[in-house]
Amino acid sequence: MTIDRQRQIEGLICLVAFGACIPAANWLIGNAGTFCVPDGPCLIPVAPGITAPSGVLMVGLALVLRDLVQRRLGAKFALAAIAVGTLISAALAPPALVAASAAAFLLSELADFTVYTPLQKRRLVLAVFASSVTGLVIDSIVFLYLAFGSLDYLGGQIIGKGWMVLLALPLIHWLRQRDARIGLAPA
């Protein structure tokens, strides 16, 4: 398999996984958690005494996967994925959360893109970490404020999304080393 073909296949896998994070987050928030608030989100513990809606896990993962889509398929493809992801987010969100879900997705992913793009060629792990943290903070603030008019779950949202980013960093480090070893340059 050629290097270009390998990059395309890996990029498409990341793209599909990125897209799957959106319905997975919507399903989790309404169906899976250690406690489900009546007419509200299902919650999971993210730190001692701190809970967050269960969908935070997929949102944190989506930020990392968007970076990998860009690394494998290029910036234009990543921007298209953000646009399509915003539409999917709006389509799958409960009616009361459509604006909050779409705005949070769009703004957080664009912020992630803006931070990731200049850093990624020389400092991939730092780029993924910094862009994901930026994106997850923006996603949390925008979603909570627009959806609930409250930032009550802000700490839990940030911690829950942050766990997914931190868990992905060893894989990103390995990927960077493997890419350098086999000559697989970013798109």
Q: Establish if 121 belongs to a structural domain.
A: yes
Nearest to 159 by CA among 62, 85, 53, 65: 53
**pLDDT at residue 147, as a whole number:** 86
Using DSSP bridges, classify how beta strands 42-47 and 50-53 pair: parallel, antiparallel or unpaired.
antiparallel
Q: Establish if 46 belongs to a structural domain.
A: yes
Both tokens of residue 84?
């399509």
Average pLDDT of 152-164? 92
Q: What is the pTM of this model?
A: 0.89
Q: Establish if 187 belongs to a structural domain.
A: no
Please state the separation of Cα 122 from the chain's center in Å. Answer: 22
Range of the domain at 82: 3-182
Using one digit for the tens of pLDDT, what is the confidence trace for 61-120?
999 999 999 999 999 999 999 999 999 988 888 787 888 989 999 999 999 999 999 999
Average pLDDT of 149-163? 92
- Intra-chain end-to-end CA distance of the chain, in Å: 17
The position carrying tokens 């498409």 is 12
Please give the Cα distance from 67 to 131 (Å, whole number): 8
* CATH number of 105's domain: 1.10.1760
**pLDDT at residue 112, as a whole number:** 95
**pLDDT at residue 38, as a whole number:** 86
Both tokens of residue 144?
């909570």
**pLDDT at residue 89, as a whole number:** 87
Average pLDDT of 28-54? 89
Please state the separation of Cα 77 from the chain's center in Å. Answer: 16
**pLDDT at residue 171, as a whole number:** 93
Q: Establish if 41 belongs to a structural domain.
A: yes
**pLDDT at residue 122, as a whole number:** 84
Average pLDDT of 25-31? 87
Alpha carbon distances (Å) from 179 to 18, 76, 123: 21, 21, 13
The domain total for the chain is: 1
pLDDT exceeds 80 at position 187: no
pLDDT tier at 6 (50, 70, 90 boundaries)?
Answer: confident
Average pLDDT of 150-157? 90
Mean residue pLDDT across the chain:
91
